[in-house]
Amino acid sequence: MKPYLAAALQMTSVPDLAKNLAQAEELIDLATRRGAELITLPENFSFLGDESVKFKRAEEICTASEKFIKTMAQRYRITLLGGGYPVPSPDGRTYNRALLVNANGEELTRYDKVHLFDVNLPDGNTYQESKEVTSGSALPKVHSSPRLGNLGISVCYDVRFPELYRQLSKEGAEVLIVPAAFTAFTGKDHWQVLLQARAIENTCYVIAPAQTGFHNARRQTHGHAMIIDPWGITLADAGDPVGMAIAEINPSRLEQVRRQMPSLQHRVFG
């Protein structure tokens, strides 16, 4: 791995497939112009707001999302992560899939979200992801890139389950990617501290693209797409507006932190 720029894009996706993909391409174009080689899109980048509509249009959204990810990667000559989109599953529901592709538009790795967000929040919003989403059956795999390092992917609610990231670090992950549509209610207290915890305990970079703002009359997300270094320092924070967090991923910094704090070598229980 050599030093390179990574971008965590921040979107306000809505129940309009074409509009979302246009917004995503505009941000990809901007990130590429700024020199990013690894660009990451948030969870639900292609459709967000009305879950019942998304479910009914899952096949259409899936086809368009995968075509978009591969086309953008080829057009802009980047490695691109599509952070989460619906894929029809055999049980009549959908998987929530993240897909990583290279500059030739070839699939590098995929991951179907394992931890599903079934939560009643004090703000009155209820989320029942498992109603329409099938849990993935396998942990994410680490993709090793000579240029970008060892990349481990996850999706949103996964960030609350440190054992998933421990498994990725045991498999050699150096960069953890956490695309999300984190709720505004939980995000204000938990988003940054969870990302920093995953970075610190695994001495990894964390790249976290995010959704922000209102997606329909009720659904609001936290924003603050971030890139965090292996010491837990926030290198870039997109704040509230549509945009991006962009920062350097530097192998010498990774080596320095792991030398100063060799906690991965000191594990006793797994």
Catalytic, 113? Answer yes
CB atoms within 10 A of CB 127: 16
Task: Tell me which of 54, 66, 132, 156 is the catalytic residue.
Answer: 156
List Cβ neighbours of 157 (8 Å cut-off, separation of 6 or more): 113, 115, 116, 117, 129
State how far the Cα of 132 lies from the Cα of 17, in Å rounded to an integer: 19
Question: Of 247, 165, 174, whose CA–CA distance to 204 is shortest?
Answer: 174
Among 37, 43, 66, 174, the active-site one is 43
Q: Is 171 a catalytic residue?
A: no
Question: DSSP character for 266?
Answer: G
DSSP state of 21: H
Please report, for residues 2, 6, 10, 65, the alpha-carbon distance to residue 228 in angstroms, rounded to integers and kept in the order given. Answer: 18, 11, 15, 27
From 51, 66, 113, 132, the catalytic residue: 113
Q: Is 19 a catalytic residue?
A: no
- Angle between helical axes of 184-202 and 162-170 (0-180°, round to 10): 30
Residues forming the active site: 43, 113, 156
